Amino acid sequence: MINFKKVSKVYSKDSVALRDIDLIISSGEFLSVVGHSGAGKSTLIKMILADEHPTEGAVFFESVDIHKLGNKDLTNLRRRIGAVFQDFRLLSNKTAYENIAFAMEAAGKTDEEIASDVPHVLELVDLANKLDHFPHQMSGGEKQRLAIARAIINQPELIIADEPTGNLDPVNAFEVIQILKKINDLGTTVILTTHNRGVIESIGKRVVTMEKGKIIRDDKDGKYII
């Protein structure tokens, strides 16, 4: 599904975010990317979303070079990707229901589809009783589960979760990871960045370890070794 070919990102001679990255992520895979702050994890993610462009090399989504797409095609590609971030990025003036409905409206879904699908996805993330709550009325774990619901509502092929448990306590972090695993079990590819060893051990899937912009390990069985 995703293929990094000899990708480097250089900001200056003293600031190199990625160094000669080769990485293949298969459809349906659950991949965790780990490493200390500054290792290059977020830059790797931004390459897939075309928020950053490589200095050298290319990133492919299926057979398409992401960074050669025009605006319209790039918009269409991003609709195939759901993203979840550490800081939630919810609309503070909208309820849980409205946050998800807004994402559906942006994708051109009908009022009937919204009315049908939003309650279902809120139930999936165990927020069925929070549909009229605003973000400020929700806990950190609930906010992140709402962010996941918004990310999956349009049935993307890929979910990118960039440090989704970074602001959560261990109990809420575990709940969020269980939801991501459930989504993956249903066939969606998941890419998770984290520095939480406990999270990695609870997943037990492929782990890529980064250090100073390089991939230094690629383990199939969920090990976090730094």
Domains and CATH numbers, the chain: 29-42+73-219 (3.40.50.300)
Quote the pLDDT of residue 152.
95
> Can you give the pTM of this predicted structure?
0.91
pLDDT digits over 205-218, tens only? Answer: 999 999 999 999 99
pLDDT for position 226 = 64
Q: Stretch 111-138: mean pLDDT, rounded?
A: 95
pLDDT confidence bin for 167, thresholds 50/70/90: confident
Mind listing the pLDDT tens digit for each residue in 40-85? 999 999 999 999 999 999 999 999 999 999 999 999 999 999 999 9
Dist CA 226 CA 43 (whole Å): 19
Task: DSSP letter for 44, please.
Answer: H
